[in-house]
Structure 1
């Protein structure tokens, strides 16, 4: 698995995941479980939704 999630994208996903989970806890809703998805993609640094589009937010190496 080649990483396709850069540092800024990773930080955004971590914060978004925590916020979604917190809102799920506050409103006592199972929708907060969706917050696991951005947390997992941030920790693995790989997003399967990026594959079909060829998207990568990682920095490209300088030549």
Structure 2
């Protein structure tokens, strides 16, 4: 897997995941919507740790900075 996520993108995903988890565990988000968003938060954390987002590959996106020293 080639990294396609930059540090800012990873940080934003982790912050959003923390907010969603806090809302779920405080009872603000409940029911099916709460569970779906909690799963989405888990996906955000996982993709942040591996610096790879499969959807970015499908759409040809990358927020990872280009390394100009290689090549």
After TM superposition, the structure 1 = structure 2 runs for residues 1-63 of structure 1, keeping only pairs within 5 Å, are: 1-27=1-27, 29=30, 30-31=34-35, 32-62=38-68
Question: Matched residue pairs, number?
Answer: 63
Residue 49 of structure 2: SS of its match in structure 1? helix
Ranked by relative contact order (alpha carbons within 8 Å, sequence separation 6 or more), the top structure is 2
Runs of 4+ in 1 over 3 A off after TM superposition: none
Q: Which runs of 5+ in 2 are unaligned?
A: none
Cα RMSD (Å) of the superposition?
Answer: 1.5
The range that moved more, 26-35 or 4-13, is 26-35
Change (3 A) 1:33 1:26: farther
**TM-score normalised to structure 2 length:** 0.77
**TM-score normalised to structure 1 length:** 0.86
